Structure 1
Amino acid sequence: MSELEESFYALNWNNSISVAVITLISYEYMLQFEKEVTYVWQRQWSVMTYLYLAVRYFGIFLAIFGACWGGLFYIPEAVSYGMFLLMQWSYSVYYCLAEVVLIWRLYAIYNQSKLLLYVLLGLFLPIIAIYIAMDIFLWSRPSAISVQEITITPDIKYCTTVFHIGPMPAIYASIPVICFDIFLVILAIIVLGKHLRERKELRMKPNAYVIMIVRYHVIYFVLNLASQIIMAMLWDDLPTVAMNLVLLFNDTSPFIIVPRLIMSIWDTHANDNCVNVSTTFEDCVCWTSPPRLEQHEMDSRV
């Protein structure tokens, strides 16, 4: 395959993946829009509401922006590098927002423990510093990465990234982030184990919300682990097909799964036989109260 044919082949893959990204994100938004109106715009707002709106609409912006960059629409080389930096820094902001969602859910299932919240936020500050340092070292230096304009014909041009260092710095930077996610998963499993023991002693069924939140922590851990691996893989010399499939996953899955996990908990809560279903999820006694109090609340309304 000649250099011209290879460039045209890469551009076709880029545009096909871009269309797939826009289609998936748009379809997901239409599927969730009715629930969003019901559980966000027509309900009392809470901290999780603001987090949901951030990950939903910031995620849509990032997905569309990432899909358009490179080849779907021609972007001059003079501004392409700056737009690429904006995209990469925005990805880091999005992952930090997703981590805050996990921290807030742990705060909720630990009976709104202020101590736990402060500890987790304190540990999260170094993670933010790592993201900033990684974005400066990996993405913001011309010696590490640059943008090159490929001319196929006088009427067909596209921009692509050129990596100048290997994947090891990205791998090293991802290790603390993964360790922090492991710590969050361990905390979620600990509270689940305690909850299951209490319910077993009382011969009661486990609370569906606690199980759901812990399951979602595990799902997000797997998702973030995959995303960190993918970010490191991007620095390796991958074949065109593999690179575009990796980008398809990285440009869709976080922006679909994170808002959907929040929405699914609200949806379950709204359809539950809970006496306080009109309250915000974090303040609902049907899942934050001890088992005896929860049962008393339910029995008093029967």
Structure 2
Amino acid sequence: MVVCMDELHTLHPDMTYTISNNPDFWPLISAPRLTSYFSVACAVVVVYDWVFSFAQEFELIWMQRWSFMTALYICVRNIGILYSFNFILWLLSVPITNVVGNIFYFTMIWVPVVVNAMLGVIMMTRIHAMYGRSNKILIFLALLLLVSTIATGVMAVIGNLGYSGGETVLSGYHICGYNLDTDAVDLNDDMIIPTAIWEVLAFVLSVWIVTKHLHELRQSQRGSTIGDCFTVLIRSHMRYFLAFAVVACLTLGGLSQNFMHSSSLGAAVYAGVANIAQVFQMCLLGPRLILGVREYNTKVVSRSDGGSHMTSIVFQAGGDALTSEYV
């Protein structure tokens, strides 16, 4: 279990505390316990999704020629599974060492930074292809993503400069506790802001180019392949962006004094829902940004008369394409 040490009135220097049969601290037990149920649900959903889509993943990822996008997919998928189980281990009422507790804590802080950066690269690659592989748009997106990632990382470092944590035992219940110095600035929830700016801009650029190309298709009445591929891309992007918007709203809502460091059951439910939304966005919809395009490529190839000569999604009549190797 995890709880903010600010809620404990007396702190022992070794960061291990035993408080027995004190009813004042019972909310610190019931609230994290409720949150742990949501964490278990997260892990079950992630594992179920992996098992359910394994056949598709084996065909479209493992059996294809490896590329940079393949490596990103595997990293996001596997980190997501480990991240969901890290939630459970962090919240279990079992004795742990202070070092292990601190590893769990910083895993929870840094995994979203790393995974969102990798998802940003995937999104940047998609948008780059949608804009005809324009070098200008690639440089612009790369700089924006770099700034967003650096800003998020800096906020993660600053927000945890005063961190100290360890095991707490409340009425025989083991809790992973943490404390921040009074002078430290808690930026763990604010870290979502730079990523949100990147996601909003990426979504706007995607919608703009899709709208432009669909308008051109109506006027020129070119084949349906271009329109179909844009539909596939914008659908997966839309689902991903909506999930991220929910995560951002829930995370920023957690900055309210009604939820911050609160041990109420309402705050526990809110935190549990936010955790599920974050795992869903990063670990389920994130990998499908690649699977969706590769699945479409496979269907195009299977429908084509020539077979292997139609191995790409064409975005412009000039021949610019998002190939299966590219994604």
Do Structure 1 and Structure 2 share a fold, with TM-score over 0.5?
yes
Task: Tell me the percent identity.
Answer: 19
Q: 3-state DSSP class of the match of 2:175? A: strand
Q: For residues 9-38 of structure 1, what are the alpha-carbon distances to aligned partners after superposition, in whole Å with 9 as ceiling and x for unaligned?
A: 124313322321221111111011101110
Displacement of 1:147 in angstroms is: 3.4
Q: 3-state DSSP class of the match of 1:207? A: helix
Of the three residues 50, 65, 81, the one matched with 2:71 is: 50
Going from structure 1 to structure 2, the CA distance change for 1:172 and 1:255 (only over 3 Å counts) comes to closer
1:103 aligns with: 124
Task: Please tell me whether the aligned partners of residues 168 and 232 of structure 1 are also in contact (alpha carbons under 8 angstroms).
Answer: no
Of the three residues 310, 313, 317, the one matched with 1:290 is: 317
Greater per-residue helix proportion? 1
1:191 aligns with: 209
Of the three residues 90, 98, 106, the one matched with 2:111 is: 90
1:251 aligns with: 279
Q: Which moved more, 1:1-10 or 1:259-268?
A: 1-10
Provide the C-alpha distance between the structure 1 equivalents of 2:66 and 2:177, rounded to a whole number of angstroms.
Answer: 42
Q: Which amino acid aligns with 1:63?
A: S
Q: State whether structure 2 residue 26 is matched by structure 1 residue 5.
A: yes
1:213 aligns with: 233
Provide the C-alpha distance between the structure 2 equivalents of 1:185 and 1:104, rounded to a whole number of angstroms.
Answer: 13
Of the three residues 299, 305, 320, the one matched with 1:271 is: 299
Task: Please tell me whether the aligned partners of residues 55 and 255 of structure 1 are also in contact (alpha carbons under 8 angstroms).
Answer: yes
Provide the C-alpha distance between the structure 2 equivalents of 1:225 and 1:237, rounded to a whole number of angstroms.
Answer: 23
2:146 aligns with: 125
Displacement of 1:167 in angstroms is: 9.3
Structure 1: which 5+ residue stretches go unaligned?
Answer: 295-302
Provide the C-alpha distance between the structure 1 equivalents of 2:28 and 2:146, rounded to a whole number of angstroms.
Answer: 42
Task: Please tell me whether the aligned partners of residues 80 and 147 of structure 1 are also in contact (alpha carbons under 8 angstroms).
Answer: yes
Q: 3-state DSSP class of the match of 2:133? A: coil
1:159 aligns with: 176
Q: State whether structure 2 residue 58 is matched by structure 1 residue 37.
A: yes
Structure 2: which 5+ residue stretches go unaligned?
Answer: 1-21, 321-327
Provide the C-alpha distance between the structure 2 equivalents of 1:78 and 1:46, rounded to a whole number of angstroms.
Answer: 37
Scaled by the length of structure 2, the TM-score of the pair is: 0.76
Q: Which moved more, 1:199-208 or 1:104-113?
A: 199-208
Q: Which moved more, 1:128-137 or 1:61-70?
A: 61-70
Provide the C-alpha distance between the structure 2 equivalents of 1:73 and 1:288, rounded to a whole number of angstroms.
Answer: 54
